[in-house]
Chains A and B, each alone.
Chain A
Amino acid sequence: MDKLDMEVLSGKLDAELIKKDFPVLSNSANNAPLVYLDSGASAQMPQSVIDRINHYHQYEHANIHRGVYELSEQATISYESVRSTVARFLNVTDTAEVIFTKGTTHAINLVAHAFGRTFIRAGDEIVISHMEHHSNIVPWQQLCEEVGATLKIIPISDVGELDLEEYRRLLSDRTKIIAVTHVSNVLGTINPIKEMVALAHAKDIPVLVDGAQGAPHMKVDLQDLDCDFYIFSGHKVCGPTGIGILYGKRDWLERMNPYEGGGDMILSVTFEKTTYAEIPSKFEAGTPPIASAIGLGEAIKYLESIGLENIENHEKVLTQYATEALSDISGLTVYGTAPQKAGVISFGVQGVHPHDMATLLSDDGVAVRAGHHCAQPVMQRYKVPATTRASFYLYNTLDDIDKLVDSVRSAKKIFS
């Protein structure tokens, strides 16, 4: 398929126009226009989000909850209204099921701690997959060591899909939770979450979904997916850092012990006994990152104004175009070729170390990531020390991909 056809396919979303909403993207890098292909690590913020955060700092800041003066009441309203925005974004009805966290890592640790210490005992099993980010491995490993539980791993195929037959076999009456990523941050694979949740629920096992690479790139309907926990980060959905979301089903959240103790998460405190607040406050100890939460709300509104379906479609076009163009380069291997794939391409070029590749691309203004992408087991699975990864978002254009491909070709030439 040629470039013109691709542009037609991507028709509902004008990435050139969208790019203008993002001030960082009009900057240059190494005297070349910045080609930002690292949104999988962190997305850029549009002007509207930057303005909203500034406005909060300039005119609206006060600590939330319990302030009886107008400024604090307004800050509380702004902060709490983001809960409704997130609930709409994820298609859930009960806003108390939306908990603000510091990010995806914090949220997974929260569940591993609060759910784990409430429900998981020696001899129990926790099922994760071979394609998890370290943040969905290490907290569970720590839990296993502490309580004497065992970690079970769903294997992945050569193209980068989960082995669902093996997944079925791993589910037993010892399995207490499944923690799996929605989309692999290295391979791009979109996992069949709905099917996996149904299989788990048939055995009364709850499922946590790491949505860090899912929520930014597609419409997430939690009533449809039916998972028990869904987690994502603000800075990967065009919001600021320091804020993330944990969605949890009310029934689980109410039965879980708190993770952190402190202000805002209590009903009453005496030296003899503390009673905890209801959800969501029970899991939000201390002053939260108020400005970041408000920025996240604005970011979600921005994405919704473009349309998540349009973003998903646009990234499919970019991914297909990039995969075809990169695959034309001899000696280049793409890791992760699942049919259901998001806008992430990890690759290696024979004779060029991924770090040298990333440095040479940077000389041309092309920003990609190189390394193990906090997913060392994936590197071990494909027997590579590292990969170079390009990841796409709504503001990337087919021209960006052309520049990536040209730059990869010249890097290869330098080492030939």
Chain B
Amino acid sequence: MYQEVILDHCKKPRNWGQVQNATHKAEGINPLCGDRICVSMNVVDEKIEDIQYEGESCAICMASGSMMTAKVKGKACTEAIDLTEQFRVLTTEAENKEEPAGFGSLAVFSGIRDLPSRVKCALLPWHTLIAAINSQSEISTEGDKDPVPGSGTQK
């Protein structure tokens, strides 16, 4: 999983920080890892004009967030929602599914299917993006706010 592209985004995350006077903003937390990230955006006419993210997280989440912002910047909100669904399929569904066209380097995340305990790490930035689009202030990978319930607890 820890290929060059992920390590590169992890060490030099793109669009790192917070958008000033953001129109949309959400926090995503994964209590199991202690990950906490923030996605902030400027949305004009249903289009993501600017997007930034920051937080504390593992490399998978960090790289996923970096690549997510690069991917959706400049896109319509509806398109970002579609991409999120495609990313969810890529990371969670059986391998015989075709990888979505035009996903580019994001396709590297298909490898996370073999690491079910880490899927939430890859999905967190995307779910936080959706929360921001929907003007939800916070999402969590646990409990009733969990977008992918039932995949992983720990002792």
Residues in chain A within 8 A of chain B (CB atoms):
41-42, 353-356, 359-360, 369-374, 379, 384-386, 414-415
Q: Is B118 an interface residue (CB 8 A)?
A: yes
Q: Is B121 an interface residue (CB 8 A)?
A: yes
Q: Is B2 an interface residue (CB 8 A)?
A: yes
The 10 residue pairs across chains A and B that have the minimum distance between CB atoms: A385-B34, A353-B58, A355-B58, A356-B59, A371-B154, A386-B34, A356-B58, A41-B155, A355-B33, A371-B32
Supply 15 further A-B pairs (C-beta < 8 A) apart from A354-B58, A374-B155.
A353-B33, A353-B57, A353-B59, A355-B118, A355-B121, A356-B59, A359-B118, A370-B33, A371-B32, A372-B32, A372-B34, A374-B154, A385-B33, A414-B7, A415-B7
How many angstroms from the CA of A373 to the CA of B1 in the assembled complex? Answer: 24
Q: List 13 A-B contacts (CB under 8 A).
A: A353-B58, A354-B58, A355-B58, A355-B121, A356-B58, A359-B2, A372-B32, A372-B34, A372-B154, A385-B33, A385-B36, A414-B2, A415-B7
User: Which secondary structure characterizes the binding site on chain A?
Assistant: mixed
Could you say which residues of chain A place their CB within 8 Å of the CB of B121?
A: 355
Q: Is B115 an interface residue (CB 8 A)?
A: yes
Distance in Å from the Cβ of A58 to the closest Cβ of chain B?
Answer: 31
Asked if A359 and B1 sit within 8 Å, CB to CB, the answer is yes
How many angstroms from the CA of A354 to the CA of B61 in the assembled complex? Answer: 13
Distance in Å from the Cβ of B30 to the closest Cβ of chain A?
Answer: 9
Distance in Å from the Cβ of A368 to the closest Cβ of chain B?
Answer: 12
How many angstroms from the CA of A379 to the CA of B56 in the assembled complex? Answer: 15
**Candidate in B34, B56, B154 with the most chain A CB atoms within 10 angstroms:** B34
Size class of B's contact patch?
20 to 34
Chain A residue with the shortest CB-CB distance to B36 = A385
Could you say which residues of chain A place their CB within 8 Å of the CB of B35?
A: 385
Could you say which residues of chain B place their CB within 8 Å of the CB of A369?
A: 154-155
Distance in Å from the Cβ of B6 to the closest Cβ of chain A?
Answer: 10
B1-29 interface with A by 8 A CB criterion: 1-2, 7, 10-11
Q: Is B123 an interface residue (CB 8 A)?
A: no
Chain B positions 45 through 80: 1 when the CB is less than 8 Å from some CB of chain A, otherwise 0: 000000000001111100000000000000000000
B111-143 interface with A by 8 A CB criterion: 115, 118, 121
Asked if A386 and B2 sit within 8 Å, CB to CB, the answer is no
How many angstroms from the CA of A316 to the CA of B35 in the assembled complex? Answer: 34
Could you say which residues of chain B place their CB within 8 Å of the CB of A354?
A: 33, 58
Distance in Å from the Cβ of A386 to the closest Cβ of chain B?
Answer: 5
Chain A residue with the shortest CB-CB distance to B118 = A359
Distance in Å from the Cβ of B85 to the closest Cβ of chain A?
Answer: 25
How many angstroms from the CA of A386 to the CA of B61 in the assembled complex? Answer: 15
Could you say which residues of chain A place their CB within 8 Å of the CB of B58?
A: 353-356
Distance in Å from the Cβ of A326 to the closest Cβ of chain B?
Answer: 20
Asked if B154 and A415 sit within 8 Å, CB to CB, the answer is no
Asked if B1 and A385 sit within 8 Å, CB to CB, the answer is no
**Candidate in B1, B31, B154 with the most chain A CB atoms within 10 angstroms:** B154
Distance in Å from the Cβ of A372 to the closest Cβ of chain B?
Answer: 7
Asked if A360 and B2 sit within 8 Å, CB to CB, the answer is yes
Chain A residue with the shortest CB-CB distance to B58 = A353
Chain B residue with the shortest CB-CB distance to A384 = B34
Could you say which residues of chain A place their CB within 8 Å of the CB of B7?
A: 414-415
Could you say which residues of chain A place their CB within 8 Å of the CB of B36?
A: 385
Distance in Å from the Cβ of B130 to the closest Cβ of chain A?
Answer: 23
Known contacts A356-B2, A374-B154, A374-B155: does B33 contact A415 (CB below 8 Å)?
no
How many angstroms from the CA of A354 to the CA of B1 in the assembled complex? Answer: 15
Distance in Å from the Cβ of A107 to the closest Cβ of chain B?
Answer: 16
Could you say which residues of chain B place their CB within 8 Å of the CB of A386?
A: 33-34
Chain A residue with the shortest CB-CB distance to B154 = A371
Could you say which residues of chain B place their CB within 8 Å of the CB of A371?
A: 32-34, 154
Could you say which residues of chain B place their CB within 8 Å of the CB of A370?
A: 33
How many angstroms from the CA of A372 to the CA of B153 in the assembled complex? Answer: 11
Chain A residue with the shortest CB-CB distance to B62 = A353
Could you say which residues of chain A place their CB within 8 Å of the CB of B115?
A: 359
Chain B residue with the shortest CB-CB distance to A416 = B11
How many angstroms from the CA of A385 to the CA of B33 in the assembled complex? Answer: 7
